[in-house]
Amino acid sequence: MSRISVYQDRRAALLDLFQSGGVSERVFVKLYTEYSGKLNEMLNRRVSKLEELRAQLGERSKRLEELRFSLEELEARHKVGEIDAVTFEERSRGLKAEVTRLESEMKGLKANIEHLERVFADKSPREILNLEMKIKSFHESLEKFISEGRLSRESAEKIRPDIEEALTFLDSIIGKRKERERQLREQLEALHARYRVSEISIEEYERKKREIQEEIDRIWGVP
């Protein structure tokens, strides 16, 4: 499990603990600030590293394009007799060796970028959704905690921006999946209406309903 996942899980567990009354406000705020600080630090380092790797990939991609152009030019000069076969082989060998090296480096860079982009490689989409729902539930309960005297306004306003940022971050990961599920559930609702008005048979209704539900399950990684 990545360190980012570890601190995401700890923070979510802390929210649950506070909601159940298992920790005082003072300890909760202290731990929340600590976990979020470490989490944000790791996420910022990840962003910086991604920018660095993408810049390196861009540089190598540009150089690779230049090399391929040089190879094409060299071949053309050889074909029209401007340079002899020995010179052509010697020059093209050096260019091709650099092309091979760059392609290998780019492959490694792409693998590293893909790894960093998959923030929660150890979590299924459903687990990420559940994590988001926990944080969202806590966010929606902030005013209730204040009115009940469990959380001061000052403490709530201190952690609110971070909670909202966490929700935005998680939505950036699974937002497209949630939108697709919403569309499919609208299709289910429309399908049910068509069945209710006898536009389709019970057999067709059950078949299409099963197909849509299977697609919803696939969205969240359900076998």
CA distances to 39, 54, 57, 83 from 51, rounded to whole Å, are 19, 5, 10, 42
Q: Which long-range contacts (CB under 8 A, 24 or more apart) does 217-220 make?
A: 219/125, 219/177, 219/180, 219/181, 219/184, 220/124, 220/125, 220/126, 220/129, 220/177, 220/181
Structural domain includes residue 216: no
More confident residue, 180 or 117: 180
Structural domain includes residue 22: yes
Structural domain includes residue 86: yes
Using a 10 angstrom Cβ sphere, with 0-12 exposed, 13-18 middle and 19 or more buried, the burial of residue 194 is middle
Residues 136-186 have pLDDT tens digits of 999 999 999 999 999 999 999 999 999 999 999 999 999 999 999 999 999
Mean local confidence (pLDDT), 14-33: 95
Q: What gap in Å lies between CA 80 and CA 182, rounded to an integer?
A: 62
Phi-psi region of 7 (alpha: psi -120 to 50; beta: other; left: phi over 0): alpha
Domain that holds residue 13: 1-122
Mean pLDDT of the chain: 93
Structural domain includes residue 179: no
Residue 155 CB coordination number (10 Å): 19
Percent of the chain clearing pLDDT 90 (strictly above): 87
Structural domain includes residue 222: no
Structural domain includes residue 73: yes
Above 70 in pLDDT, residue 95? yes
Check which CATH number belongs to the domain holding 100 and give it.
Answer: 1.10.287
Query: Using 50, 70 and 90 to split pLDDT, how confident is the model at 222?
Result: low
Return the CA Rg of the chain. Answer: 28
Mean local confidence (pLDDT), 5-30: 93
pLDDT value for 223 = 44
Structural domain includes residue 42: yes
Residues 68-80 have pLDDT tens digits of 999 999 999 999 9
Structural domain includes residue 181: no
Mean local confidence (pLDDT), 96-102: 96
Q: Are 190 and 212 in contact (CB under 8 A)?
A: no
pLDDT value for 120 = 83
More confident residue, 120 or 185: 185
Q: Per the structure, how many domains does the chain have?
A: 1
Q: Are 26 and 144 in contact (CB under 8 A)?
A: no
CA distances to 8, 64, 156, 198 from 3, rounded to whole Å, are 9, 35, 26, 54
CA distances to 13, 31, 90, 135 from 145, rounded to whole Å, are 17, 18, 76, 14
Residues 44-62 have pLDDT tens digits of 999 999 999 999 999 999 9
- Give the pTM: 0.73
Q: Within 13 Å of residue 26, how many CA atoms lie on the same side as its CB?
A: 0
